[in-house]
Chains A and B, each alone.
Chain A
Amino acid sequence: MLLIPCPYCGKRDEHEFTYAREGHIARPTNGEQLTDAEWAQYLFMRKNPKGVHYERWMHAKGCRRYFNVARDTVTHEIYAVYEMGQPAPVIERENGR
């Protein structure tokens, strides 16, 4: 079970949150000019890293706000929590997994 620090409410149990998949995916502004392959890239293709993953969570049972989390998919360590719209922080990890 994760203890997720909501940027608004503070540390709460994982069951209060819903996972909202990978973050920082910008919708193309020129949708009508994209090829099917490029559109599919935006719609379906997601990172699946072994290590730091930048993802979104929503505090469903609390303040109902979305926010970004940088989480290690190996250790579940949460490196950073930051508000929507902020740039992804660069995470330096010790063991370089």
Chain B
Amino acid sequence: MRYLDREAFGKLVDALAGAGYDLIGPTVRDGAIVLDHIDGAEDLPSGVGEEQGPGTYRLTSRDDDMVFSWAHGPDAGKRFLFPAREVLCTAKRNDGQLTVECRPGDERPFAFVGLRSCDLHAIAVQDRVFLDADPHYARRRERALFIGVNCAVPGGTCFCTSMGTGPKCTIGFDLALTELPGGFVVEVSSPRGEQMIEVVRSREATEEEVRAAQAVTTEAEGQMGRSLDVADMPELLYRNREHPRWKDVAARCLACGNCTSACPTCFCHDIVEGMSITGDTATRTREWASCFSEEFSHIVGMEIRKSRESRYRQWLTHKFASWIDQFGTSGCVGCGRCITWCPVGIDVTEEITAIRATDGEVEVAEEVMAS
């Protein structure tokens, strides 16, 4: 374990920007701690905290200058590695001859600062979807640097301990920081991480500092705002496809798609064709899609998931159950963003708990109830 004081950490962040990396880190904007392109360490939050609950997110001020004493804002690494709109291919037609090119662009590589363990796990989940299939994603992913942060203050909707994805960073980082009042205990986990930390003055962390860092994680584990029993997945949701709870939650759900946008693993997308005004160049663009929209399941002459309950069931069952069959991992990392950013505060942990409590219950047809 290494130790970086606050100044050295700032220099490291600035050095990444100076070396040409597209620096992505947390910064305060529009009443939230968002993840965005930043110029250097001075853009990072300081003395800011947050409160999260179902349908609620508020910034708070802290009486210290801690940088990372909050859980997470609305966005994760997904927005950068898998952008909401991206041109995948360009087609041209000259004298009737068609050409289609789908090469990834040559953007600056990302350096992520301050991703949480849930966010790093979410990237590992999206890796299983995109890494072998999509060269655009793969190129960005493989070039990016990752400085993770072990969570000190989980949010009111967090349940990463239930999903086995936090609060301590265990995968997907080059460096992982634990913030202490004067500086950072740093775990170095890759050759790239070793080179990064060489750039600035660091020293071996003392035993006391290492113990203090461990205490931060231990304390965070005890502060999760939510918990969820994921035993018997995927079968629990597979055998409850006709459960009355789907109708109940559908009556509250607005089908707005906020949960799918805020979710760091949701990967569904549309492919949209566009044409230049001159008519000689066409573009194939990928755009985030939501399984909450009616047209998502459109086939000739019909929408397969016409009712809202069928769409909610698709999302929740995919996230917690069929994802396991498809990709060998749950699609949920327990970040709780879908709960915080749901305008009506629907809580996935509550929905699954309700289904588990009445496991096997089947919706009774209305005519039967009427008689």
Partners in one complex: no
